[in-house]
Amino acid sequence: MDTLIVGAGFAGATTARMLAEAGERVLVIDKRPHIAGNAYDRRDDAGLLIHEYGPHIFHTNSEKVFAFLSQFTEWRPYEHRVLAVPDARSGAAFPDANQPHHHQSPVRPATRRGRCGRVPGAHARAARAHQDLRGRGAELRGSRPVREVLPRLHAQAMGLDLSELAGGVAARIPTRTNDDDRYFTDRFQAMPAKGYTRMFERLLDHPGIEVRTATAYEDIGAQVDRRRTVFSGPIDEYYGHRFGRLPYRSLRFEHEHLGQCEHYQPVGTVNFPNDHAYTRITEFKHLTGETHRGTSLVREYPTADGDPYYPIPNPANEALFKRYEALADAESDVHFIGRLAQYRYYNMDQVVAASMALATRLTEQDTAALAA
């Protein structure tokens, strides 16, 4: 065996495919009983395609990343649109989102301005304040437009005060001063036509790749004879939490199917940056384009316990990560890649790009070693 890859999500599967195409023999393991990591999707009991671990919306400006993944899937064009309900009790956006209801069209930019514009120009001021947040953080603790309109959802999801978030998190929150109501503005925006799991099946379908699910690294790692390891799990877990546990934010998902309800909400995702226990509701039919007399939803509840989903970027956590990163840098035959292994708030396309770069580097190193 040339390479043991821990994790069958975007990081592991991308690296595995590129190494296999370069002639390596690769074993991919994942402790979950399925491939595709958090992007795993499946059919629910009603027959609708749902995302088990919350919505995954693919978007990228990288032609290289899009071309790579396009080898393994056809695409369904999809541009994500999101509503936010800063105070559901006010009815500012639409009636109570806890009850099934219908809307004929997504809320337009003019409607959005009406919702955010209790004070004239509030949306534009919020956008400017958001730019300041990227650099000033705590100074904006009392900024009403920022707290009420923009990044409160992210702070809520991570269990932190707004001022505790690193600027990189604020940079992920889209703002507009024009009438573009799309959540993302990337050049490529689409969903895998047959779902993420099917794309991963094709991605890992290579004679040089063996896949074992329901297989934990701690149970098999010492038994596998290989030249190197690529690890995409939590870096602190790999080192036995030697310096303490890195904080990660987890999520609990509550799936629901509503029969005889064509659409529950007017867009794919509605955010609730307020005192609700859940932070957002996603209706999958908007994402997949499927037709059905009923509809399937997921509510997301942030929690400190459970599987790690998000690194929590702040100075203290970054300092702890640097201690683990120093251990990783000293390794010659272990390589760390992905959101949890690198403690970075990666998007899916960024994980793919980083994994492609790692696989290319490893292949080049092998070629140079053979030539020496």
Mean pLDDT of the chain: 83
**Inter-residue contact 115 to 92 (CB < 8 Å):** yes
In this predicted structure, what is the pLDDT of residue 209? 98
CA distances 297 to 21, 254, 280, Å, are 38, 8, 10
In this predicted structure, what is the pLDDT of residue 158? 53
Per residue in 178-191, pLDDT (tens digit) is 778 899 999 999 99
Sign of CA dihedral 218, 224, 229, 232: negative
Per residue in 56-112, pLDDT (tens digit) is 999 999 999 999 999 999 999 999 999 988 655 443 344 444 443 333 223 333 333
Sign of CA dihedral 155, 186, 120, 92: negative
Residue 305, CA atoms < 13 Å, CB-side half-sphere: 0
Reading across the β-sheet that carries 295-303, which strands appear in turn?
Answer: 82-84, 269-271, 280-283, 295-303, 248-258, 310-311
Give residues with Cβ within 8 angstroms of 352, minimum separation 6: 10, 14, 65, 68, 69
**Inter-residue contact 60 to 188 (CB < 8 Å):** yes
How many angstroms separate the CA atoms of 168 and 246, rounded?
18
Which structure tokens are listed for 109? 């930019």
Per residue in 15-59, pLDDT (tens digit) is 999 999 999 999 999 999 999 999 999 999 999 999 999 999 999
Give residues with Cβ within 8 angstroms of 275, minimum separation 6: none
Mean pLDDT of 286-305: 95
Sign of CA dihedral 225, 226, 228, 230: negative
Question: Residue 116 pLDDT more than 80?
Answer: no
* φ, ψ for residue 132, nearest 5 deg: -65, -35
In this predicted structure, what is the pLDDT of residue 227? 96
132-146: buried (b, 16+ CB within 10 Å) or exposed (e) per residue? ebeeebeebeebebb
Mean pLDDT of 196-202: 98
What is the residue extent of each domain of the chain? 3-35+204-247+312-371, 52-107+181-193+249-310, 108-177
211, β-bridge pairs: 28
| Residue-by-residue DSSP string for 53-102 | TS----EES-HHHHHHHHTS--EEE----EEE-TTGGGTSSSS-TTS---
Per residue in 202-238, pLDDT (tens digit) is 999 999 999 999 999 999 989 999 999 999 999 999 9
CA 234 to chain centre: 15
Q: Would you give the end-to-end CA distance of the chain in angstroms?
A: 22
**Please, what CATH class does the domain formed by 3-35+204-247+312-371 belong to?**
alpha beta
Sign of CA dihedral 141, 146, 149, 151: negative
